[in-house]
Structure 1
Amino acid sequence: MLRAGIVVLALAGSACATLSDAQREQAARIAADARATVVSCEAAFACAQPSSLRSLGSRALAESEAQAPRHYALLLDYGQDALLARLNLIRSATRSIDVQTYIFDEDDAGHLFMDELLAAAGRGVQVRVLVDQLSALKRVDTLASLAGAHVNFQMRIYNPVLGRARISYPQYVLAAACCWRKLNQRMHNKLLLVDGVVGVTGGRNYQNGYYDWDPEYNFRDRDLLVAGPEVAAMDASFEEYWNARLARPVEQLTDVGRRLLRDGVPTVEHGNFEHPERVARISRDADDAALVDERLTARALPVGAVDFIADPPEKHRRSYEGVAPSTHGLRELIESARREVLLQTPYLVLSPAAQDLFRELQQREDSPRIIVSTNSLAATDAFITYAVAYKYKRRYLRDFGFEIHEFKPFPQDAPIDVDATGTVDVARPGEAVPAAGADVVRPLGREYSALRWSVAGSNDPVPLARGGVRFGLHAKSLVVDERVGVVGTHNFDPRGDNYNTESAVVIEDERFARELAGSIRRDIQPDNAWTIARRDKPPVFSGLEYSLAKISEHLPIFDLWPVRYATSYEFRPGPECPVPLSPRDPGFRACYEPVGDFPEVNLSLKALLTRIFTGFGGGLAPIL
């Protein structure tokens, strides 16, 4: 025990050791002196590749007037389209590229994207990359290499806990003990900005799973490309974060700085891509002007005014008061609903203020219909979060009037590309294949990185009853009355309200809102989702059971009542059931069959843990 204590103290001491001012300056000089200065292109436009996507920005600015702005908006549902758009835009940059992201991995997608950014810097484009610390690149050597890569390339890390780029488990324990709030305050914003005329934002990070490239688990996500004058507001937000006190040049961080002081700037190459043919194919596609026009540019919608809402970095100051702009904007829009709210969030955990909002909506004389698209236990990458949502399903359905649809792990008609995953022998419905036991998401890929070490394996996807590449919902979108559409980074959860900084694009345009609504409605179709509804009442003592369950639900802990109010239902089409129905429709039970609380899940330890966190996890809600 004494030896363990000595080890912990030694680790704590090393974690707290920082560079002196002189060492920090020396590390910065080493990085600066090593940066390449050669530019491969002397042309004023940096030998940029012509791009119809980038031209949308120039066209929108030319068509805009002071009182009548013009924008073009393009939904990016397919992961391959989202990657294609990014590569094409980077190659079209003539002056600047700014990247703000939560996760930047060292896998095929991350390496490809970084290669493209460095190539742009090499031809004369000013490139800046801002990444949150807990989900930044995995290796200190990689970060040290990037610190000295090129004079046109800069990288900063946001909110580096303990002044480091990377922290180990013992350092995490120390950070949790000394700085729990700081550890949880993360930059969740996501932006790609090209030349100040085109911007991309939404749910996607830079990791295989966001582009259908992971052989085990991928996210069904959504981005939005915006071209036009409001990109200036995105630029201004990026500048705020780039210059924020919590954004540190990577070479100034203790672990990166020590690496530079010890051995200089390392030469780090990522080696061969895991699937080089897949990388080569998307790279060729990004150069194909006709393909980009057909798959992307031709689908962009002309819209009028666009509103970009972003939390300021000051949200992470102790002195910050009030409701953050992203949260305030979303609540105002929902409050304005008259007919319908379509809400898509991967993690259905609501803050007390959000619960009050939906309760008030439900109490209106003509309350709007509230349709929610979220994850099932089988699909989610955050089962603790699902367990807390599971605890409050009665409240969501009965008190707030939600119609909840939970995304399936093997959707049959979603905007995904199974072939791109590189998976072989994918199990289809009806093929009983034992779970391989390797369905895991690395800690870097989790939405809740601050909790990644709290319980070993606690946020890995649960084991399923059959094998195959699975998909989980990650899109964060909102449609109100099919007149306003929102795509952003906010999960409409307490973490987004209080800890993370978030952003969103709001477009009041009926055509755009209908397209976004159609995308969400596709995700909740029976091929892609289960419907959640009240389970059949027991033949006796149903009122007593309901009352006991409701009392148990309101307990912050010890919610151990075994029978829950709701369960999952599968649509069974037939002559009498030609189309899916709302759970409120009188004919619902004739067309839907209950399939259990956790369909597709291998009822093992994780199912038991879900029950446990349902009972004891209510106290975690404020940080979920």
Structure 2
Amino acid sequence: MLTTLVGTRLPPKYQKFFKLPKRQASWKYPDTASTALGRAAEGWLHDHAARCGVYRLDSGRDALGIRLGLIDCAERSIDIQSYLIRDDVSGNLVGLRLVAAAERGVRVRLLMDDALTNEIDAGLLSIDDHQNIEVRVFNPFPRHRSRLISFIANFNVLNRRMHNKSFTVDNQVTIVGGRNLADEYFLSGGKTEFIDEDLLAIGSVVNDVSEGFDEYWNAREAIPVSVFDSMVPHSSIAESMEQGRQYIEQHANAQFLADVDGSLANDLLRQELPMLPAEAALVLDYPDKIRLLPPRPSSITTVFLQQMVAAAESELIVISPYFVPEKQGVEFFGSLVEKGVRVVIVSNSLASTNHSSVHAVYARYRKPLLKRGVELYELRPQIDSLNTTTTVTLHSKIAVVDRQRLFVGSFNLDPRSLYLNTEMGLVVDSGQLA
């Protein structure tokens, strides 16, 4: 593993917030072909004469189950990048498995955006104490005063967030999509459930995701969570893990635990997971997008998606939970309709959205879009197959071009994704997947 000291590159703005340690840079492990996951991936790719294999994770419970199973399979490394992780059943299941993997000697790197991590500072600090686990927070808030005051005082800095989501094990298997690590993303049976989408991939694209993770992990905005050690009381690892086990026992639904048993990961190891051979590529913003002042829509993800959807010849389907096209978006989608392209937009209704303020802005554009021939569909807040007390919210971020090209990632069609947040996703050429 290549290591260098990059403490001198830490941004001056953070020096105001807390005492910064020197950070040791770290990088993906390139030599993981001999791991069980490496052998399984190589065998599948050879048998299918493919560069990549891709599997859609539509089911929330499957999405959590395969993550837990992959952690259990890990032999060398686990790299997780997420906007949030909650102190709930799913978050504790992941945390317990990560510590167990670290006990086996697996290196664990957990990179979180700091927008919501203050709720779990103590838990993150506890697992960070393990010699094989390091937790970093991206673009952190100061902890010595209220977050609201800090946000107002440092608005131009703290309003920019890392929205990326990736989950990579042994540099052989990766999951990229819209799900964070919290119960509502995995259909746990709570009051709110998010309909979301991930893609699992093996093959050449995994190394690209790992390199992208390294870019963020070693970025100057990625600060070790240990800087909060003296500010936040926290338990030992053993105490924290016991608290996690007790939480799961008290709050977990038995059927939910049975459904996230990790069997899909075993199918992957046996080369029985029904992946499809496909060409897959990573679309990734660089971390320095959050330094662009004034913010502008020139990021890699934004430019690529504009080019991808503009290439539609017969049909474009966009699924975005937060959809604010602005005037230029109305013109863009309308021009596609004029070229003979069927344009379908799926988003949340006012009843299903978890951000009513965003929906209020979207509502201004409904009539102009409909007048231009764009088809709009909005999600109902309840789905018959679920408990009627459960509110269902759309959270998938998907674009499908001509039923041949598919994008799944973290990118919403709204100004925040365009201008402020960093985003990522996978684009796949496959008529079967799209």
Deviations 1:201-255 (A, max 9, x none): 11111111001114211001111001101111101110000001110000013xx
Alignment partner for residue 121 of structure 2, among 116, 124, 140? Answer: 140
When residues 295 and 335 of structure 1 are mapped into structure 2, their CA distance, relative to the original with a 3 A threshold, is farther
Alignment partner for residue 96 of structure 2, among 115, 131, 151? Answer: 115
Distance 2:283 2:39 in 1: 24
Alignment partner for residue 420 of structure 2, among 499, 504, 507? Answer: 499
Partner of 1:383: 356
Q: Give the greater-gyration-radius structure (CA).
A: 1
Residue 154 in 1 paired to residue 127 in 2? no
Partner of 2:394: 473
Partner of 1:371: 344
Deviations 1:61-102 (A, max 9, x none): 5469xxx85211100001111111111111111111100000
When residues 289 and 102 of structure 1 are mapped into structure 2, their CA distance, relative to the original with a 3 A threshold, is closer
When residues 247 and 63 of structure 1 are mapped into structure 2, their CA distance, relative to the original with a 3 A threshold, is farther
RCO greater where, 1 or 2, for CA within 8 Å and sep 6 or more?
A: 2
When residues 482 and 56 of structure 1 are mapped into structure 2, their CA distance, relative to the original with a 3 A threshold, is farther
In terms of mean alpha carbon deviation, does 173-182 or 95-104 score higher? 173-182
Contact kept in structure 1, 2:312 and 2:402, CA below 8 Å: yes
Q: 1:272, CA displacement in angstroms?
A: 3.0
Contact kept in structure 2, 1:81 and 1:296, CA below 8 Å: no
Partner of 2:406: 485
Distance 2:74 2:103 in 1: 12
Contact kept in structure 1, 2:183 and 2:190, CA below 8 Å: no
Partner of 1:542: none
Distance 1:116 1:475 in 2: 26
Contact kept in structure 2, 1:100 and 1:191, CA below 8 Å: yes
When residues 355 and 249 of structure 1 are mapped into structure 2, their CA distance, relative to the original with a 3 A threshold, is same
Deviations 1:478-498 (A, max 9, x none): 110111111111012111011
State the SS of the aligned residue for 1:138. helix
Q: 1:403, CA displacement in angstroms?
A: 0.7
When residues 124 and 276 of structure 1 are mapped into structure 2, their CA distance, relative to the original with a 3 A threshold, is farther
Q: How does 1:5-44 map to 2 (within 5 A)?
A: 18-20=17-19
Partner of 2:27: none
Partner of 1:354: 329
Partner of 2:305: 330
Alignment partner for residue 262 of structure 2, among 251, 274, 286? Answer: 286
Contact kept in structure 1, 2:76 and 2:107, CA below 8 Å: yes
State the SS of the aligned residue for 2:344. strand
Deviations 1:389-422 (A, max 9, x none): 11221111113x2111111111236xxxx4xxxx
Q: 1:278, CA displacement in angstroms?
A: 4.3
Q: 1:294, CA displacement in angstroms?
A: 12
Partner of 2:26: none
Distance 2:235 2:400 in 1: 53
State the SS of the aligned residue for 2:78. strand
Distance 1:259 1:139 in 2: 10
Residue 277 in 1 paired to residue 257 in 2? no
Contact kept in structure 2, 1:484 and 1:507, CA below 8 Å: yes
Residue 106 in 1 paired to residue 87 in 2? yes
Distance 2:204 2:15 in 1: 45
Distance 1:187 1:98 in 2: 15
CA RMSD of aligned residues (A): 3.1
Alignment partner for residue 129 of structure 1, among 99, 110, 113? Answer: 110
Residue 95 in 1 paired to residue 76 in 2? yes
Contact kept in structure 1, 2:334 and 2:369, CA below 8 Å: no
Contact kept in structure 2, 1:156 and 1:250, CA below 8 Å: yes
**Amino acid in structure 2 at the alignment position of 1:470:** T
Identity %: 30
Q: 1:140, CA displacement in angstroms?
A: 3.1
Partner of 1:309: 283
Partner of 1:241: 216
Distance 1:321 1:349 in 2: 16
Distance 1:383 1:321 in 2: 25
Contact kept in structure 1, 2:66 and 2:263, CA below 8 Å: no
Contact kept in structure 1, 2:164 and 2:424, CA below 8 Å: yes
TM-score, reference length from structure 1: 0.60
Partner of 2:194: 219
Contact kept in structure 2, 1:130 and 1:157, CA below 8 Å: yes
Distance 1:266 1:119 in 2: 11
State the SS of the aligned residue for 1:205. coil
5+ residue gaps, structure 2, are 1-13, 24-30
Distance 1:204 1:311 in 2: 18
State the SS of the aligned residue for 1:337. coil
Deviations 1:81-127 (A, max 9, x none): 11111111111111111000001000000000111111111101111
Distance 1:412 1:264 in 2: 44
Q: How does 1:471-620 map to 2 (within 5 A)?
A: 471-513=392-434
Q: 1:341, CA displacement in angstroms?
A: 0.3
Deviations 1:121-150 (A, max 9, x none): 1101111000010122623322321221x1
5+ residue gaps, structure 1, are 1-14, 29-43, 419-425, 428-467, 514-624
